[in-house]
Amino acid sequence: MTLEVFILNGPNLNLLGTREPGVYGTLTLADIEASCRAKAAEVGFGEVEFHQSNHEGQLIDWIHEAGRRKAGVVINPGAYTHTSIALHDAIKGTGVPLIEVHISNVHARESFRHHSYVSPVAAGVIVGLGPRGYTLALEALAEIMSK
């Protein structure tokens, strides 16, 4: 069976490269996509869907699609991490294996970033390791899904 992964990015992550470079670095989302595609192939994912949206419902639709396709998910939900019960419910309702990634160390930032609605329904969370978090997440997800 072909292993498939959806790599999803929430609001404002399309601005990576120019958005608060002191916090998020200078790599663009296209740079991150390229390193994710290389890592995904290396760890055995035959198919990769890489998406970004500024809209909560769109992210939820992709999670549903991942569930239907029995794919895994790596998601950086951006600020929806801290607000979205709907994302929590979508992950729980589909049962997708999912890893939550944050480029910055949200726990070292404002207190409103300390709570995540996604973490309780994630298989794991990678925080504060920069864009490398995405490729680390792919390694872990491939291992989880091959069990």
Other beta carbons less than 10 A from residue 59's beta carbon: 25
User: β-strands 3-9, 72-76: how paired?
Assistant: parallel
Residue 121 is a binding residue for ligand DQA (CB under 6 A): no
Considering beta carbons, is residue 97 or 131 the nearer one to ligand DQA? 131
Q: Which of 115, 68, 81 is closest to 8 using CA atoms?
A: 81
Cα–Cα distance for residue pair 62/58, rounded to 1 Å: 6
Span near ligand DQA by CB under 6 A; candidates 49-57, 78-86, 91-99, 117-125: 78-86
24 in active site: yes
Candidate residues 53, 84, 102, 126; the one interacting with ligand DQA per rule CB under 6 A: 102
Considering beta carbons, is residue 46 or 115 the nearer one to ligand DQA? 115
